[in-house]
A and B are shown apart, each in its own frame.
Chain A
Amino acid sequence: MGLILLFGVFFFSLIAGVPVAFALGIATVLTFVYEGLPLFVAFQRIMSGISVFSLLAIPFFIFAGELMLQGGIAVRLVRLASAAVGNIRGGLGVVNVASSMLFGGISGSAVADTSALGSIMIPVMKEKKYDADYAVNVTVTSSIAGVVIPPSHNMILYAVAAGGVSVSSLFIAGVVPGILMCVCLALAAYLVAVRRGYASEAFPGWQVLAISFVVAIPGLLTAVIIVGGVLSGVMTVTESGAFGAIYAIVVTALVYRELTWERFITAVLASVRTTSLVMMLVATATAFAYLLTLYRVPDTLAASITSISDNPLIILLLINVVLLLLGMIMDMAALILICTPIFLPLARDIGMDPIQFGIIIMMNLGLGLCTPPVGACLFVGCVVGGVRMDHVVRTIWPFYLAIIASLLLVTYVPAISMFLPNLMR
C-alpha cells in the first residue's frame, strides 16, 4: 500500500503540474507519514543527498558550459568543424554534428549544446537553403553527444546513484560510444541531405583549416584539462571541474576577449539556475530512492522482468524500452537518480559492467531529451529554429534510428564502451 501511495502521489502531483523535484519530495513525505516513519529522516536524506563532495563538480561543469556560450568558444568550434567537413554533401548538417561532438565534449550539457550551436548553425543553414526542420533535427539529436562524450555532469549523477562507480572510467568509456553515435548521426544527416538535394560547401583550403584549428585550441583545451585531470588521477573530478571553470574564464576573458562583465554575470546567474534545478532533483530523489530500497523495488522489478524472460538479450531490450518510454515523459537527471538503483542490480545480475550500463543510460535518456512530449532539447531547438514541434517530429525519424542503432550496438557489444576502461585497468 505504501508503495502504491508513493507512486500514486508522485504521478498525481506531476499531472497536477507540480515540478518533478517537488513531486518526488511530496510523495516521499506523505509516504513517510503514512508509514509512521520519522519525517526528520526524510529531510536528513534530502540534505545529505547534496552534501556529497563529488557532486560539487556539477556547478563547475555547468559554469564552464555557460562561459562557452557567452565567451565565444562555440563560434570557433563551428568554424573549425565547417573548415574540416563542410565540403561533404549536405555539409552543414555534418558540420552541425561535428560541432556538437566538439562542443558537447567540452560543455557536457545537451541543452547548452542545442542552445549554443542551434543559435549559430540553424540560421546559417536556413540561409543556405536547408529546410528548417532538417536544421533543427540535426542540431537537436546531435546534442546528445554532450551527455555521452566526457566530461558530462550526468555521468557524475550516475556515479553517485550507482554507489561509487569510478567517474574516470565512465568518462573514458563514453568516448567511443559518443563518437560512434556522432558517426551514425552524420551518416543520417548525409543520407537525408542527398535525398533532399542539399549542396556541399567549398573546401576552404588547408591553410584555413589549420588556422581554424589553432584558434580553437584554447577552447578545446578546456575539455582536455577537465578530462585529462580526472583520467590522469592527478586531480579529483571536483578539482578538475573547478580548474576547468577557472581556465574557461581566463580563455574567454583574456585570450578570446569576448567575456564582458555583463556576460559573466549572465553566465553566473544561468549557472545558479541550472545548478539549483539539478541539485534540488538530486536532493529529493535521494529521499525517494531511500523508500524504493525500503520497499525492495529493485528486487521486485528484477523478479518481474526475469519472469518474462531470463535471456539477457531480452532483459536488456526490455530495460532499454522502459528507459526510452520514461525518458519521453521525464527529465534525464531525475530518471538517472530513480532508475539507476532500480535497474543496475538487474544489469549486474546478467553480468553487465556498471560502467557499460552507465553509458547505456546516458544514450537512452539522452534520446529522451529529443523526443516529444517532454524533450528539453527538442523544445529549445524548435524555439531557436522557429519551427513547430509537430513539423520537426514528422521528419526526425532517420536521426532517431541512427541513435537507436548506436544504442543497440553499445548495449549488445560491450567492447564498444568497455575497451578503453579495460585498457586503463
Chain B
Amino acid sequence: MVEASKDSLTDSAGSWPAVRHIIELVVSACMLVAGTMLVVLIGTMGWLVFGRYALNDTPTWVEQLSLVLVVWITFLGGAACVWRKSHLGVDFVRDALSFTMQIVLRLIASALMAAFGVCMAWQGGLLASGTWARRIPMLEISEGWRAVPMVISGGLIALFAIFELASLVNHLLAVRSRNIGD
C-alpha cells in the first residue's frame, strides 16, 4: 500500500498541531469539569450521610443530583479518555497483523468510532428534547439535562475520531507523495 515503517504510523500524531492543541484544551476542560463534579458528588453524598445520621433530616435531593452528576462524569470523562486513548482495548491482534492490514483496521476503527459518536449525539439529542418538558423530582430542573452529556460526549467522540482518521489519511498521502518524489 505505502512504503512506510511501522513507526511512521505514530507520526500521524504530528498532523495539524494547532487543531491538536485546541482539542487538548477541550479535553482538559472536560476532565476539569468532570473532576469538579466528582468532588461535588463526594461532598453532597457526605452531606446526605451527615444529614441522615447526625441531623436526622435527610437531604433527599442529593440522590437525584448524584445520579445526574455521575452521568455527566461518565460521558465527559469517557470522551476525554477516547482522545487520550485510555479506554481498555484489545490491540494485540491488530498489532500482530501486517502493516497494510494495521492501517486498514485503524481507518475502519476510526470510522466506526466516528459513526458511533454521531449516533450517540443524535440519539442523545432526541432523548434530551423528548424529556425536556419533564422535571427531575426534588431538583426542579429539566429531565433533559441527564441526556445533554450524551450529546456533548457523542459530538466530541465523533470529532476526535474524524480528526484521527484525517490525520492518518493525511500522513499516508504525504508518505505516498514522498515515495513518488523519490
Contacts and interface: CB of A to CB of B under 8 A. Distances in A.
Interface string B88-115: 1111111000000000011011001101
Nearest to A15: B93
Contacts of B75: 276, 280
B123 A53 contact: no
B82 interface: yes
Contacts of B119: 29, 39
B106 to A, nearest CB: 6
Contacts of A265: 35
Main secondary structure of the interface of B (DSSP, over half): helix
Interface stretch (A44-52, A180-188, A204-212, A402-410): A44-52
Main secondary structure of the interface of A (DSSP, over half): helix
Interface string B18-52: 00000000000001001100110110011011001
A275 B67 contact: no
A235 B45 CA distance: 12
Nearest to B94: A17
A53 to B, nearest CB: 6
Contacts of B146: 47, 51
A18 B66 CA distance: 30
Contacts of A50: 70-71, 74
B175 interface: no
Nearest to B87: A19
Nearest to A62: B38
A269 B38 CA distance: 9
A59 B150 CA distance: 19
Interface in B120-176: 120, 123-124, 126-127, 146-147, 150, 157
Contact of B35 (A20, A51, A53, A268): A268
Contact of A59 (B41, B48, B108): B41
Nearest to B120: A43
B98 to A, nearest CB: 14
Contact of A13 (B70, B77, B109, B127): B109
A80 to B, nearest CB: 27
Interface of B: 31, 34-35, 38-39, 41-42, 45-46, 48-49, 52-53, 63, 66-67, 70-71, 73-78, 80-82, 86-94, 105-106, 108-109, 112-113, 115-116, 119-120, 123-124, 126-127, 146-147, 150, 157
8 contacts: A17-B90, A46-B120, A50-B70, A242-B49, A271-B38, A272-B73, A276-B81, A277-B81
